Structure 1
C-alpha cells in the first residue's frame, strides 16, 4: 500500500490493486489487479499536463458537453467538453484501513484562459463559477470514482456528463456485454432507435450505441476470457454508451496506436446525456464502480 507522485502522474496501490491518475483531465490511466491491466491506453497517449490533446484511453471525464451537444447552452462548447483538456490539482492521497483514496480538484479559476470555458460562459452572460472534485477509492478488487460539482453563481447550470472509459480486452470479437436486455437504445451510426432484446451484446463492427438504462440495467458486465468486470453507477447516471471505432476510424485517429488495437478495447461509459441542471449554491454528485469478477 503506497502513494507515489511522479511528475504529472499519481500512482497509488492497495494490496494487489494498483491505479494511476494523470493530472491531465484527472484521467484514470491504469487499473491493475493481480498483475492484470483492465484499462486500455493508446501507446501514443500523451500524459503530460501541457499536452494540447486529451488522453486517448483510460477514463477521461466528459464535461460539460457530450459529443456535439444539441443543448442550446452547450452548442458552442467543443465535442466532449473541455475539462479533459485541463490540468487538475492533486489534493491529497491517503492509505486508509479499507482502501487507498486519492483526491483531485478543478475550479473555474484554472479555466479562465480556456476558450471553450469562455464559450460556455457566453450563454449565461457571466463567468461561470464552479468546482469539480474527483475522489478515487482503490480496494483490493475494485475502484470507485466519486465526482462532485458545485455551482457557485448561476441560477441553473446545465451540463452533460460521462465517464468515457476505455476497457482493455483480449479480443473484442470474443467479448460479451451483459445487463442491457430491455434497455432502449439509439444507434448513433444509423440514427435508428431500438430495444435490446438480447441477454448479451457482441461488438463485431464499428459501434456507437447510446442506451437509456432502466431499473433492470444497473449492473453491466464485460466478459472476455479471464478479463471480467462488473460496472455499477449511481442512479442519476441513467445513460450508457458502447463505442468501438473499428479499423477504418482507428486508422484516422493520430493518437490511436497501434492502429490494430481497436481489437483489444471497448468503451463502456456511464453518464447523463439528456441534460442535467444544478441550481446556484447546490452540489451535484455521482459515483461509478469497476469491480473485478
Structure 2
C-alpha cells in the first residue's frame, strides 16, 4: 500500500573504507552502532527503544537516571515506540483492554540485522549510514497482549544512523485477513540545557488538544511554543513537514515527519515530574522536551495484506 521512496537500501560495503561498527551486547539486550566519524546510536531490544544517540560527541536524547532497562517496564526516556494505541485506550474499541500506549514499548523485539547505505535521506554517498532493523510479530507477543489485541500483524522498525541525523521508521503490516485499526507514535525525549530557553517552531495555526486543560481544543497562535509549566498538547494535521526545536535562539533539532501528520509536545514540569516514580532527577524536566511524531488524530485502518509506514528524520545542531 505504501512504497517508501527514501527507505535506505542494502548494498555491499565499499572495500578499503572504514565501516560502521555494529555490536550486539553479550547479554543480547541491546545493539550499538558507531560510524567511523564518531556518531553512535544504542537500541534496547526491550521495546526497540533508542536509548542513546550521539553526534559531535554530544548526547541528543534524555534518559531518566531511574529508567528501567531490564525489560520489566517501558523505558522512561530515549525514543519509545507507541503502538497500537496512543494514551489510554478508548472504551468500546478493539484496543480497550490494552495498557496505555499499547504493547510495543513493553515487548521484546527481534534484531533483524544491519545494512549500510549509499542512498537514502541521510546518505551523502559512501558507507556513511548504517541501518538497523528490528521486528515484532504476533507470534512473539506475550499471551496477555495476544488476548487483548488478537490480530495477525508484523512490525519492522528501522533505525538509520547517519553523519547528519537519525532516521526512525515504523512499518506496519496486516498479516491476516481481518482488518484492524491502530495508532502509532515515536515518543522522542530530546536533551536540552534549559527548557525555559527552548522554543518549538513550525506549529503556528495548527489545531491542538490541550490535555492539561481537560482536552480543550485550541489553535496555536504563537510563532513559537514555549514551556512555562506542565505542557501536554497533541497537534493535529500539521501542514509543514518540519518542527524545529530552538534553544537560546540557536537551532538545536529539526524533526521532519515522514508520512505522519501529528505531533505531541510534552514536558511534565516540576509537580508532574515529582509524581513520576522513574523520572530522575526530579528536576530533569529542565533538561528535556518531548516532540513526538505520530498518527494519533484518528485511526489508521489496514485490510489484510496492506502495509503502512511512517516515521521521522531528526537532525541535530550540537
Shorter chain as normaliser: what TM range?
over 0.9
The 3-state SS of whatever aligns with 1:47 is: coil
Alignment match, 2:63: 41
User: Contact 1:2–1:95 at 8 Å: present in 2 too?
Assistant: no
Is 1:103 matched with 2:126? Answer: no
Alignment match, 2:48: 26
Deviations 1:147-206 (A, max 9, x none): 111111143110111001111110111111000011111111112111111111101100
The 3-state SS of whatever aligns with 2:146 is: helix
Is 1:118 matched with 2:142? Answer: no
Matches of residues 218-257 of structure 1 in structure 2 within 5 Å? 218-225=241-248, 228-235=252-259, 237-257=260-280
- Tell me the TM-score normalised to structure 2 length: 0.85
User: Contact 2:211–2:232 at 8 Å: present in 1 too?
Assistant: yes
Give the C-alpha shift of residue 95 in structure 1.
Answer: 3.9
In 2, Cα distance between the equivalents of 1:4 and 1:136? 14
Give the C-alpha shift of residue 32 in structure 1.
Answer: 0.5
Alignment match, 1:180: 203
In 2, Cα distance between the equivalents of 1:212 and 1:67? 15
User: Contact 1:150–1:282 at 8 Å: present in 2 too?
Assistant: yes
From 254, 272, 290, the equivalent of 1:267 is 290
Give the C-alpha shift of residue 94 in structure 1.
Answer: 3.1
Worse-superposed segment, 221-230 or 98-107: 221-230
Is 1:12 matched with 2:33? Answer: yes
User: Contact 1:158–1:276 at 8 Å: present in 2 too?
Assistant: yes
- Tell me the TM-score normalised to structure 1 length: 0.92
Q: Structure 2: state its 5+ residue gaps.
A: 1-19, 118-126
- Aligned pairs, number: 282
Give the C-alpha shift of residue 255 in structure 1.
Answer: 1.0
In 2, Cα distance between the equivalents of 1:54 and 1:227? 30
Alignment match, 2:226: 202
Deviations 1:31-55 (A, max 9, x none): 110111110000111222xx32111
Deviations 1:232-290 (A, max 9, x none): 1123x111111111111111111111111011111110111111111101111112110
Give the C-alpha shift of residue 5 in structure 1.
Answer: 1.4
The 3-state SS of whatever aligns with 1:74 is: coil
In 2, Cα distance between the equivalents of 1:160 and 1:214? 16
Deviations 1:7-30 (A, max 9, x none): 311110222311100001000111
Alignment match, 1:52: 72
Give the C-alpha shift of residue 107 in structure 1.
Answer: 0.6
From 47, 63, 75, the equivalent of 2:83 is 63
Give the C-alpha shift of residue 227 in structure 1.
Answer: 6.7
Deviations 1:50-101 (A, max 9, x none): x321111000001011111226121221100011111111111234423011
